[in-house]
Amino acid sequence: MSLLLDNQFKELPPDKSVDTKLFLETVSHIPAFFDCLGSSVFSVIKSDINGNITKIRGVYLKDPAKYVTLQDILVAEREAHAAEWPKVGATLALMWLKRGLRFIQILLQSLADGDRDENNPNLIQVNVTKAYQQALKKYHGWFVQRIFQVALHAAPYRSNFLKALSKGEEVKEEDCLANVRQFLVNYTATVDAIYEMYTNLNAELDYTV
């Protein structure tokens, strides 16, 4: 069975609200995946994403009935921390987490679309760079861009990456990519909905780290 399909995102309701509990349950499976990628450079990324999830979960668990949707959290924090918001609490953690999720979405979509370096068809640097340029680069100063370059060199071969997505099983590339496409349906809708929420609430910031 595919790692992705084991941990699929749920279909959104018509109002595109994202259920906090379901969201946290699903994204909590992502950090473990970094362990399959081999290089220790991925532990920096894993710990950043883990930190975001822990922070959002911490706020949610203070009052699950109040924070049913992710929007409930943003609206409550806007009222509670008017001066600092949106650079505060779970609003800040989700702002960064969604960028990592967008990175993963673009990377998987690029693999599913068959983007590849014809001279090095078993490398995924083309796909990783596309995802980085679209999702993260503009938020990174020179130092973090250097970390990205190190991570890029440590990126696994395409065949190993697809194998990791298939939980280490030998699965035909086309079958694995079919699973990726299926996973991306609800995943993309969820990431898009979170981005839309940040735009609608005027909660997006564009500073660099």
Query: Under 8 Å CB-to-CB from 186, ≥6 apart: which residues?
Result: 8, 9, 10, 11, 12
Measured from the CB of residue 178, what is the shortest distance to ligand 0SG in angstroms? 18
- Separation CA 184–CA 163 (nearest Å): 18
Tokens of 182: 């299926």
For residue 164, state whether it binds ligand 0SG (rule: CB under 6 A). no
The backbone torsions φ and ψ at residue 96, rounded to the nearest 5 degrees and listed phi first, read -80, -40
The nearest distance, CB 31 to ligand 0SG, in angstroms, is 10
Between 18 and 165, whose beta carbon lies closer to ligand 0SG?
A: 165
Which positions from 20 through 39 interact with ligand 0SG, judged by CB under 6 A?
37
Judge whether 8 and 189 are in contact, CB under 8 Å. no
Spatial neighbors of 156 by CB under 8 A, at least 6 apart, are 37, 38, 124, 164
Is residue 153 near ligand 0SG by the rule CB under 6 A? no
Q: Is 180 helix (H, G, I), strand (E, B) or coil?
A: helix
Interactions with ligand 0SG, residue window 69-128 (CB under 6 A): 87, 92-93, 96, 99-100, 103-104, 128
> Closest separation between CB of residue 17 and ligand 0SG, Å?
22
Q: Does position 180 bind ligand 0SG by CB under 6 A?
A: no
Minimal distance in Å, beta carbon 96 to ligand 0SG?
A: 4
Q: Which is nearer to ligand 0SG, 16 or 88 (CB)?
A: 88
Distance between CA atoms of residues 193 and 174, nearest Å = 29
Within 8 A by CB and 6+ apart from 57, the residues are 24, 28
- Please report whether residue 48 would count as binding ligand 0SG according to CB under 6 A: yes
**Which residue do the tokens 């005027």 mark?**
202
CB of 54 to ligand 0SG, least distance (A): 8
Spatial separation of the C-alpha atoms in residues 7 and 196, rounded to whole Å: 23
Considering only 12, 144, 178, 201, the residue that binds ligand 0SG (CB under 6 A) is 144
Binding residues vs ligand 0SG (CB under 6 A): 37, 44-45, 48, 51-52, 55, 87, 92-93, 96, 99-100, 103-104, 128, 132, 136, 139, 144, 147-148, 151, 155, 209
